[in-house]
Amino acid sequence: MAYLQKVKTLERWCQENKLLLNISKTKELIVDFSTKQGRSYQLLNINGTPVERVDSFRYLGVHITQDLSWSCHTNTLVKKAWQHLYHLRCLRDFKLPSPVLNTFYICTIESVLTALCGKTRGGGLCVYINTEWCKNPVLVSTHCSSLLEFIVVRCRPFYLPREFTTAIVLGVYIPPSANAKEALIVLYGTISRLQNTHPDGLFIVAGDFNHANLRTVLSKFYQNVDFATRGENTLDVVYTNIRGAYRAKPRPHLGYSDHISVMLIPAYRPLSRCSRPAQKQVRTWPAGSMSALQDCFECTDWDMFREASTIGDFINLEEYTSTVTSYIGKCIDDVTISKTITTCSNQKPWMTAKVRAVLKTRDSAFRTGDKTALTVPCYQRGEARCRGYKKTGITLKLIYSTVVRVIQRFSKTGSTPNRPHKGPSNKSSPHASGFEEAASKKQMCEYCSIASEVAEAEVTLFNALTVRCTLQQVSLQTVIPEGTFSKAGFENPQTVC
């Protein structure tokens, strides 16, 4: 027959390519819908060994029969599902909550009924998070196909070394009959996207990989299980992107499972313990350094550098740029201050002085028991603090300039705004009284304009001590000409504050 010739051709090709067919796992199934009865078929032999002829065969989880009906496959699934219903009834009798019963049904019964090629919903995977370790797990993605099933959960534990920003846990199951290469390609794409999103994250990939090896596609992931988990085979493995992150120990199996349990003991040492703090030289810009640098650049004769690097009509650009950049660097060194700071190996670039100030404010609020301050998000607390500092600085500058203007005006008029002039009054002269009345009206208009400026500066946000300290910064000798202290009534400059 024709198919016998095909088998002989396959047998000859295997011999030429040094391949050996497993005859014990080879079955012969004959599907014949002809009307002729009693037709006999020649037995199939491979390398002189007869092949077993069967009426039904299980291929990739599907039972195929001679009449190509679904009866055998359906009966097998129903029988397997009925076996798990007994355990579901026992859990119901123990009065477990409905979410637990629903999870058990999805994992043990619905997964059996949907275990077909191209299934869209699985149930063989679940991840439990201890609330004492993390209370805010997030389900990132799930996947279920005939190749593999996996679930991705992102966690931010209460304690996590500073070098890690998050923890990504992947539960994986690759069936024994699946194509390992195609399954690993799908898993590789998912892990690569997660690594691009969380470059500093801790990745834990655990599950039943069967005949697949994740290191064939992700060479920087390390296997942590070094003992057999089912018989003599290591099927259940744990991969991490950190070498020596965990130390695995075998534990007894759960229930009637034929796979033992694996206990992972953290063995990772944080970078802060592995390496010592390093000393680093940095430059800081003190107050007034920017204005000093601008003044230095404005007073510089920049043509001098061009003339020095010119030979005839030719300008040496390399010498020109070198001298200019060296001069700029020298000016920066003059106005900046060099400091030695201590840096740790796990210090992040985003841990700036502003962030440390926000954390310090949070810690102080926690120690004092200020619940109102703790309820404010950290970023809002930092922004409010920065806005407060900026607003305070602008307002103090306005107060300073306003006080200077007040003193300058009073030095010209010869009277003080706080109290009337206590000198002798000339009541006998009506012209003098009229002149004083006109002068007082003029001063009142000036005082009103100054008061409006102070109101715009929001002086009411400060107490008397803040305003007094600001007024003490005013130098009367710089704003009032010499010899005018007696006219303005400022014999004692300390009385201004």
Strand 52-53 to strand 49-50: parallel, antiparallel, or no bridges (unpaired)? unpaired
497 residues of the chain, pLDDT tens digit each: 677 788 888 888 888 888 888 888 888 888 777 766 666 777 788 877 888 888 888 877 788 888 888 888 888 888 888 887 888 888 888 888 887 788 788 777 777 776 543 444 445 788 888 888 888 899 998 888 878 889 999 998 888 888 888 999 999 999 888 889 989 999 999 999 999 999 989 999 999 998 899 999 999 999 999 899 988 888 899 999 998 889 999 999 887 788 899 999 989 888 777 777 888 888 888 888 888 888 888 888 888 888 888 888 888 888 888 888 898 888 888 889 888 888 777 677 777 778 888 888 888 888 888 877 777 765 555 554 444 444 444 444 555 555 555 555 544 444 444 444 444 444 444 444 454 555 555 555 554 554 454 444 444 444 455 555 555 554 544 444 444 443 333 334 343 33
What is the tens place of the pLDDT at every residue in 365-394? 888 888 777 777 655 555 544 444 444 444
> Is the Cβ–Cβ distance between 157 and 181 less than 8 Å?
no
User: Treating both helix axes as pointing N-terminal to C-terminal, what angle do 98-105 and 71-93 enclose, rounded to 10 degrees?
Assistant: 160
> Is the Cβ–Cβ distance between 399 and 470 less than 8 Å?
yes
What is the tens place of the pLDDT at every residue in 137-167? 999 988 888 788 899 999 988 888 888 889 9
Calpha distance 173→178 (Å, rounded)? 10
Calpha distance 465→329 (Å, rounded)? 43
Copy the structure tokens of residue 435. Answer: 């002149």
Q: Strands (DSSP E) along 286-440, which ranges?
A: 310-311, 314-315, 337-343
Nearest alpha carbon to residue 296 among 336, 337, 335: 335
Establish how many alpha carbons lie within 13 A of residue 395's alpha carbon, considering only the half-sphere containing its beta carbon: 18
CA 399 from centroid of its chain's CA atoms: 44
How much is the pLDDT for 493?
A: 39
Calpha distance 238→170 (Å, rounded)? 10
Nearest alpha carbon to residue 362 among 376, 349, 348, 351: 376
pTM higher than 0.75: no
Domain ranges of the chain: 2-54, 125-268, 286-335, 381-496
CATH class of domain segment(s) 125-268:
alpha beta
* Sequential DSSP letters for 237-283: EEEESSTT-EEEEEEPPPTT-SS-EEEEEE----HHHHS--EEEEEE
Question: Which residue's structure tokens are 């065969």?
Answer: 57
Q: Which helix (H) or strand (E) holds 188?
A: helix 180-197
Q: Go through the chain and tell me how many residues it has.
A: 497
